[in-house]
Structure 1
Amino acid sequence: MKIFNVVFCVLFILFAALQWNDPDPYIWMPIYLYGAVFCGLAATGSYYKGWYLFGILAYLGYAIYLFFTKDGVLDWATEHHAENIAGAMKASTPWIEDTREFFGLFILIIVLLVNFVHASQKKAKKMRKKMMKIG
């Protein structure tokens, strides 16, 4: 888990840095830095289930919005035939930006979910050990 979290901490810092020239860096830099901070803490063995859950729910809500909004992921998939999102972003293709943002949130949600599950398992294991000592 340490390598997993170090890798994603570095990636999320890079993703945040790449947002500098984005039209809305004040939204996306904190989103990615949130993931970086909690991956960095997890890499040191500090897990915060409540904060993972908060991030998962917040990002899931925003991802759902980006999925269904006009020029969102659903429009990209249906009306624009899943056009290549790796190309240049133009004012005439706003669905590319929303789709990229959706997949960024998806990555964050998965990473936070992995840490949430790991933290839950770690806590359950600690509780079992405690119960074994008592019993």
Structure 2
Amino acid sequence: MKIFNFLFCILFLISAALQYNDEDPYIWIPIYLYGAWICYMAIKSRYLPGAYLLGILGYLGFAAYYLIAKHGVVDWFQHHHAGDLVQSMKADKPWIEETREVGGLLILVAVLAINWLVVGRKIAKGH
């Protein structure tokens, strides 16, 4: 799990750094830094089940908002072509930006959930 957390800690730090030129870096930099911090703490064998759960619930709530928001994932799915999402790294259409952000949130949820499940098993075994 240390390698898993090390890799995602680095990826989340890079993701946070890439947000500096985003329209709303004050939202996305802390989001990715929280994921990096959780992974860093797991590398140091400091497991924080409550922090995992808080992150999972927060990220899922934010993802749900982006699913139904104007120009969100549902809008992209209903009115635009799937190829628009991956044609270019430049997100020049709002539904591309929103859909990619949901992808980032779901990656964060998956990493935190894996950590949470592993920690839960360790606690159940008495380690």
Please give the TM-score of this superposition, normalised by the length of structure 2.
0.95
| Coordinate RMSD, CA, aligned | 1.0
Q: CA deviation at 1:81?
A: 2.4
Match of 1:133 in 2: none
CA distance in 2, matches of 1:116, 1:77: 31
Please give the TM-score of this superposition, normalised by the length of structure 1.
0.89
Aligned length: 125
Taking the TM superposition and a 5 Å limit, the aligned residue runs for 1:51-130 are 51-86=51-86, 87=88, 88-90=90-92, 93-126=93-126
Structure 2: any 5+ residue segments left out of the alignment? Answer: none
List structure 1 runs of 4+ shifted beyond 3 angstroms. none
Please say if 1:17 is aligned against 2:3.
no
Q: Which is higher, the Rg of structure 1 or of structure 2?
A: 1
CA distance in 1, matches of 2:121, 2:15: 29
| Partner amino acid, structure 1, of 2:91 | M
**Does the CA contact (< 8 Å) of 1:76 and 1:83 recur in 2?**
no
CA distance in 1, matches of 2:47, 2:97: 32
Q: CA deviation at 1:83?
A: 3.4
| Partner amino acid, structure 1, of 2:124 | A
Match of 1:3 in 2: 3
Structure 1: any 5+ residue segments left out of the alignment? Answer: 128-135
Q: CA deviation at 1:20?
A: 0.5
Q: Percent identity?
A: 53
CA distance in 2, matches of 1:9, 1:15: 10
CA distance in 2, matches of 1:33, 1:112: 13
**Does the CA contact (< 8 Å) of 1:66 and 1:73 recur in 2?**
yes
